[in-house]
């Protein structure tokens, strides 16, 4: 499963990126506008929701629980400095997807107990998209975390994130992760739509 | 039949994704389901037939799996 995390670049706006990801076949989009206000995010989110609806894709908005509820987006992704998952669940109920960022097994356990629906886990390697970063996990990190999840009978999908490019995907999928989140790999590609197609194909070839 | 749900081999009587969703008491909204790592929109759940050892990913805190 591929999750595309929107980002703007010199070439593309947030919506350009989302449009290209959808066109390439991605059906799971995260709108992430870290330093914007809710009022700046709202119109972009509404357009993103329309696009996603047209493609039958899910739209998750980073960090903004109240906005997700207000707009009726599919869900929210919560980073380590955002609202705790348990609090978001109380506000949103069960009819929204809630994802939480984890760097360690303790984070995963906490998200699990807080009834998160998926875990965004990383960073796989050093990335330039994020400003603050925990130590990189590498393949071994994912293997170990997934093993600990199995032992603890935590059956949540884990999405690998952080500086992942096409050539990393086969080995990463073999560790047992459920999905891959990408941003830069798509937006920096010469042909982002073709890149999304290739990334999806790679996540399915295991 | 046994299918893999979020990496765990699970016995199910469900024939398609829709029946699986009902069996797992998934809510009407706020769920994403992928088969063999490709997201399947809810409108296609009924026509998505389950097969032995199929890989199903459910983006939802699944109870009792």
Determine, for residues B29 and A1 on separate chains, whether the beta-carbon distance falls below 8 Å: no
| Chain B residue closest in CA terms to A158 | B6
Q: Which residues of A touch B60 (CB under 8 A)?
A: 97, 117
From A37's Cα to the closest Cα of chain B, the distance in A is: 24
ipTM of this predicted complex? 0.90
Does residue B37 contact residue B55 with C-beta atoms inside 8 Å? Answer: yes
Total tally of structural domains belonging to chain A: 1
Q: Which residues of A touch B8 (CB under 8 A)?
A: 155
Domains of chain B: 2-59 (3.10.20.30)
Least CB–CB distance from A97: residue in B6, B59, B65: B59
Determine, for residues B29 and A96 on separate chains, whether the beta-carbon distance falls below 8 Å: yes
Residue A143, domain CATH: 3.20.20.70
Question: Token digits for A196?
Answer: 């999304």
pLDDT, tens only, A69-125: 999 999 999 999 999 999 999 999 999 999 999 999 999 999 999 999 999 999 999
Using CA atoms, how far residue A112 sits from A22, A81, A115, A118, in Å, is 29, 17, 5, 9
Question: Domain span at residue A99?
Answer: 2-204
Using CA atoms, how far residue A108 sits from A148, A151, B2, in Å, is 10, 13, 27
pLDDT, tens only, B21-50: 999 999 989 999 999 988 999 999 999 999
Question: Token digits for A185?
Answer: 């790999």
Least CB–CB distance from A117: residue in B36, B43, B59: B59
Burial class (CB in 10 A: 0-12, 13-18, 19+), B14: middle
Please report the pLDDT score of residue A128 as a whole number. 67
Q: Average of pLDDT values for A126-144?
A: 82
In this prediction, residue B61 has a pLDDT band, given cuts at 50, 70 and 90, of confident
Q: How many Cα atoms occupy the beta-carbon half-sphere of A122 within 13 Å?
A: 22
Residue A199: count other Cβ atoms within 10 Å of its Cβ.
25
Give the residues across from A120 on adjacent strands.
Answer: A101, A159
């Amino acid at each position: 499963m591929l999750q595309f995390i929107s980002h703007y670049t010199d070439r593309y706006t947030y919506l350009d990126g989302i449009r290209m990801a959808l066109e390439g076949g991605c059906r799971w989009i995260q709108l992430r506008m870290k330093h914007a206000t809710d009022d700046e995010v709202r119109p972009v989110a509404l357009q993103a929701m329309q696009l996603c609806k047209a493609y039958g894709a899910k739209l998750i908005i980073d960090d903004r629980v109240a906005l997700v509820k207000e707009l009726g987006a599919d869900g929210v992704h919560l980073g380590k400095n955002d609202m705790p998952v348990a609090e978001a669940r109380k506000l949103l109920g069960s009819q929204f997807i809630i994802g939480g960022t984890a760097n360690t097994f303790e984070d995963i356990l906490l998200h699990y107990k807080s009834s998160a629906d998926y875990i965004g886990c990383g960073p796989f390697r050093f990335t330039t998209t994020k400003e603050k970063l925990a130590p990189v996990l590498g393949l071994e990190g994912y293997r170990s975390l997934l093993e600990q999840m199995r032992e603890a009978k935590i059956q949540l999908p884990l999405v690998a994130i952080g500086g992942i490019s096409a050539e990393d995907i086969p080995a990463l999928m073999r560790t047992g992760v459920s999905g891959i989140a990408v941003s830069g790999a798509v937006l920096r590609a010469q042909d982002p739509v073709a890149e999304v197609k290739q990334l999806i194909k790679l996540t399915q070839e295991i | 039949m046994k299918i893999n749900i979020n990496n765990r081999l699970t016995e199910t009587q469900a024939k398609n994704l829709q029946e699986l969703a009902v069996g797992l008491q998934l809510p009407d909204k706020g769920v994403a389901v992928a088969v063999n790592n490709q997201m399947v929109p809810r409108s296609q759940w009924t026509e998505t037939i389950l097969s032995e050892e199929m890989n199903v990913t459910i983006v939802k805190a699944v109870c009792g799996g």
